């Protein structure tokens, strides 16, 4: 029986696609092994969102080919497309599967290497893998992006806009429930464009499902207008609270296009997924600011199974930089959408992607980003430094920011994001929130600064700017609004939704308790390993 191993670089969409590819190989008769173990075939789903991601993709292929000269190394993903665009040859890859055909990787492999088909002949299906408790499954509903931000290569590597049918998505959600999953994470490359495959955007103005017509012909505010952090914060806070800015200026009206006739709608799709029997939660992975429509917020407000968490990429808090990025909104539009989201959804967590060091970003522009961070009060943020991408306009811009300045700003922004995260968690201490229990944690994990050098896709699951600790033996899970909670309990609680009272903060979440260790109908079996919270108090 031939063996296969899989690994993923990059975003949550890639992770979902790797799982689909792995399932195909397993169903065909391949024995699935760990990526660090010897195998006949290795499949690497690559990323090209930054230079560092490309380097890591090339390194992974080269390392595997040299360590396992008798194995076949198959590459797919965005770097495969980017390598072709750049005219690069990845000599150590035995096969490169086109990105838009990656879900057909098994067919490509069997055609290219007939000896594997022969080896599979007559093989019984692989034995099922040992059952492990499952809580969260990702489902990709849409692929492709045709919105050309000045810094992004994704429209070049995922250029085919395609939405899955509602029936197909609902059927997959039902299968995931049968497999034991409780939470469904909905993702896509431009997920707000679900059902809008025929929408043709005007670069720099429109995004599917939302349109914004800011005064793009108006020059950016002079640097003198942003005198200090405090003044920038004050102005942004006024906008967030709905007050008129102190200079008397008025915001542009928000406008959204009429949906294409009879096209499916993301808000309706989320409602339908929430109604699948057995689904406890539905979480939306990432949504562009212009796609946070009133109808989407109404869906979240009316359906309790939709998680109170929106990941809304900011990229920059400065309107001039946003215009240079070809992003279809300005600072005021972004703040208005956040204000509307908070008004519709009490206890909402807003998380974000934020870039530092885009060409032309001076100190006042960076101060505007800091002001928005503090005004919105992000629960978490994914930070990354600008990295020139081939064929993108920004790579040719003048006024490139030095690496030293990018590093300094990344650290300063990270400190600001950690402060807003701590404040968000502090507001929930003493309260009882529902937690979906995911696992029992083991050894302490290594801290990570996560400067985003090898990430940055808007579809990344939000992560804290700094790593968190694991307290040995504690159960761990997330609230609907994405607070990571650790507490004492037995393994029988994994997969259950429990009410946990948040007691004190940890570096990226909170320590909690569940019913003072009295679980009522979820009574622990005699061998359940309860540990007193006091054991861990000194470690926090």
- Write the DSSP string, 152-163: --HHHHS---EE
pLDDT at 203 (0 to 100): 41
CA–CA separation, 79 and 323 (whole Å): 27
State how far Cα 105 lies from the chain centre.
24
Structure tokens at 458: 């808007």
pLDDT at 262 (0 to 100): 53
pLDDT at 263 (0 to 100): 54
For tokens 């057995």, the residue is: 278
HEC string for 314-339: CECCCHHHHHHCCCCCCHHHHHHHHH
Sign for the CA dihedral angle at 131, 132, 135, 140 comes to negative
Q: Which strand ranges, in their side-by-side order, compose the sheet holding 72-77?
A: 31-32, 3-8, 41-46, 72-77, 95-96
For residue range 14-36, what is the model confidence (pLDDT) as tens digits? 777 887 788 888 888 888 888 87
For tokens 């054991």, the residue is: 535
Strand bridging mode 136-143 / 183-188: parallel
Render the burial of 356-390: b for 16+ CB within 10 Å, e for the rest: bbbbbbeebbbbbbbbbbbbbbbbbbbbbbbbebe
Residues ≥6 apart with Cβ < 8 Å to 411: none
CA–CA separation, 399 and 122 (whole Å): 63
DSSP 8-state code for residue 291: G
CA–CA separation, 96 and 139 (whole Å): 25
| Residue 46, beta-bridge partner list | 77
CA–CA separation, 504 and 430 (whole Å): 8
Q: Which strand ranges, in their side-by-side order, compose the sheet holding 380-385?
A: 309-311, 349-356, 380-385
DSSP 8-state code for residue 458: T
| Residue 143, beta-bridge partner list | 162
Helix extents (H) in 122-190: 154-157, 166-178
pLDDT at 214 (0 to 100): 32
CA–CA separation, 327 and 158 (whole Å): 18
CA–CA separation, 189 and 147 (whole Å): 11
Q: Which strand ranges, in their side-by-side order, compose the sheet holding 183-188?
A: 162-163, 136-143, 183-188, 281-284
Per-run averaged pLDDT (10 residues), the chain, 540 residues: 84 75 84 83 83 82 84 86 78 85 88 85 62 74 77 69 85 90 88 69 39 33 35 43 38 39 76 94 91 92 95 93 88 93 93 92 94 94 85 82 93 94 93 88 40 32 40 80 87 86 88 63 38 35
């Amino acid at each position: 029986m031939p063996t296969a191993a899989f690994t993923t670089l990059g975003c949550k969409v890639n992770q979902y696609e790797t799982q689909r590819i792995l399932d195909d190989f397993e169903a065909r008769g391949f024995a699935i092994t760990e990526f660090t173990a010897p195998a006949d075939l290795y499949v690497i789903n690559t990323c090209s969102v930054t230079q560092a991601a490309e380097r890591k993709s090339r390194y992974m292929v080269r390392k595997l080919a040299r360590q396992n000269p008798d194995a076949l190394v198959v590459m797919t993903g965005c770097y495969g497309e980017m390598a072709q665009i750049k005219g690069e040859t990845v000599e150590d890859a035995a096969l490169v599967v086109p990105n838009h055909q990656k879900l057909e990787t098994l067919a490509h492999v069997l055609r290219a290497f007939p000896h594997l088909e022969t080896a599979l002949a007559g093989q019984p299906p692989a034995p099922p893998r040992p059952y492990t408790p499952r809580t969260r499954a990702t489902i990709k509903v849409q692929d492709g992006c045709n919105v050309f931000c000045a810094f992004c290569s994704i429209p070049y590597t995922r250029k085919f806009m395609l939405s899955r049918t509602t029936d197909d998505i609902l059927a997959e959600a039902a299968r995931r429930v049968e497999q034991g999953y409780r939470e469904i994470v909905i993702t896509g490359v431009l997920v707000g464009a679900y059902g809008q495959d025929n929408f043709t955007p005007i670069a720099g103005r429109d995004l599917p499902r939302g349109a914004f017509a800011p005064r793009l012909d108006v020059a950016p505010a002079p640097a003198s207008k942003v005198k200090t952090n405090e003044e920038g914060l004050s102005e942004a806070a006024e906008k967030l609270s709905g007050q008129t800015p102190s200079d008397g200026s008025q915001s542009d009206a928000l406008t959204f296009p009429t949906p294409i006739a009879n096209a499916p709608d993301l808000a309706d799709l989320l409602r339908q997924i929430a109604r699948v029997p057995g689904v406890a939660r539905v979480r939306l992975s990432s949504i562009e600011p212009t796609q946070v429509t009133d109808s989407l917020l109404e869906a979240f407000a009316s359906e309790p199974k939709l998680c109170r968490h929106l990941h809304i990429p900011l990229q920059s808090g400065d309107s001039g930089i946003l215009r240079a990025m070809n992003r279809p909104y300005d600072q005021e539009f972004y703040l208005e959408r956040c204000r509307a989201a908070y008004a519709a959804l009490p206890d909402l967590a807003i998380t974000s992607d934020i870039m530092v060091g885009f060409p032309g970003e001076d100190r006042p522009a960076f101060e505007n980003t800091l002001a928005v961070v503090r005004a919105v009060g992000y629960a978490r943020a994914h930070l990354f430094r600008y990295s020139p991408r081939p064929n993108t306009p920004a790579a040719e811009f003048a006024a490139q920011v030095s690496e030293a300045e990018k590093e300094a700003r990344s650290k300063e922004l990270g400190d600001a994001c950690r402060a807003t995260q701590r404040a968000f968690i502090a507001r929930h201490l003493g309260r009882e929130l529902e937690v979906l229990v995911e696992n029992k944690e083991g050894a302490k994990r290594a801290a990570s600064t996560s400067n985003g050098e090898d990430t940055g896709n808007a579809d990344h699951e939000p992560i804290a700017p700094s790593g968190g600790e694991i307290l040995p033996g504690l159960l761990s899970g997330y609230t609907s609004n994405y607070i990571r909670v650790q507490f004492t309990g037995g393994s029988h609680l994994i997969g259950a939704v429990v009410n946990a009272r948040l007691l004190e903060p940890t570096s990226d979440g909170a320590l909690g308790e569940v019913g003072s260790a009295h679980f009522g109908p979820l009574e622990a079996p005699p061998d359940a390993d309860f540990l007193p919270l006091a054991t861990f108090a000194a470690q926090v």
